[in-house]
Amino acid sequence: YVLFAIDLATRAVHIAGVTPNPDGAFMAQVARNLTDPFDGFLRGKRKFVVDRDTKFTEAFRKTLAEAGVEIVLTAVRAPNMNAIAERFVKTIKDECLSRMVFFGEGMLRRAIAEFVEHYDTERNHLGLGNRPLRPGPTLPVTDGTVHRHVRLGGLLSFYHRRKRRAAS
């Protein structure tokens, strides 16, 4: 199981936890991590949209409520109420997870981390003007050779231009 949170305004993705058994203790810890006052993903957020999965326990909801975050439940069988999150699930499955065989939780965690880094910094997003969420520090270069940056052994690719060096 992979629990993620996505900021609807910026589309930034945060992997909240990975576990083979999402029990109450795991979910309570995830809630504490999400609402951490210093670096929690929900710091400064007022609402958190969740589906009606029983894994969102009372302790999870109580922790978020104590941090001032309101839980918004989606309607039953209404995936369009959380369409951006549903689209992320489809994207990560299509572009990454369904193309790999994992031999352990460590491999899954690494693949997800690499994909999220690619998703946030390199992948263009049509809904955001065909720009990456957090573009790298490089300035757009219109001339020079095209270089390929690969992740996950070439499964994910990012193409960019490097400015030609002046001849010496």
pLDDT score of 157: 84
Q: How many residues does the chain have?
A: 168
pLDDT tier for residue 127 given thresholds of 50, 70 and 90: low
Distance of CA 22 to the CA centre of its chain: 18
pLDDT tier for residue 120 given thresholds of 50, 70 and 90: confident
- The string of pLDDT tens digits covering residues 5-24 is 999 888 889 999 999 999 99
pLDDT score of 144: 76
- The string of pLDDT tens digits covering residues 139-165 is 566 677 888 888 888 888 888 777 665
pTM: predicted TM-score of the whole model, two decimal places: 0.81
Are 30 and 8 in contact by the 8 Å Cβ rule? The answer is no
pLDDT score of 34: 97
pLDDT score of 23: 94
- The string of pLDDT tens digits covering residues 53-111 is 999 999 999 999 999 999 999 999 888 888 989 999 999 999 999 999 999 999 999 99
pLDDT tier for residue 138 given thresholds of 50, 70 and 90: low
Average the pLDDT over 108-135 and give the result: 81
Average the pLDDT over 117-131 and give the result: 75
CA distance 16 to 2: 8
Q: At 65, phi and psi to the nearest 5? A: -60, -40
* SS3 annotation, the chain: CEEEEECCCCCCEEEEEECCCCCHHHHHHHHHHHCCCCCCCCCCCCEEEECCCCCCCHHHHHHHHHCCCEEEECCCCCHHHHHHHHHHHHHHHHHCHHHCCCCCHHHHHHHHHHHHHHHHHCCCEHHHCCECCCCCCCCCCCCCEEEEEEEHHHCEEEEEEECCCCCC
Q: Which amino acid is at 16?
A: A
The two beta strands, 2-6 and 156-162, are unpaired
pLDDT score of 92: 95
pLDDT > 80? residue 112: yes
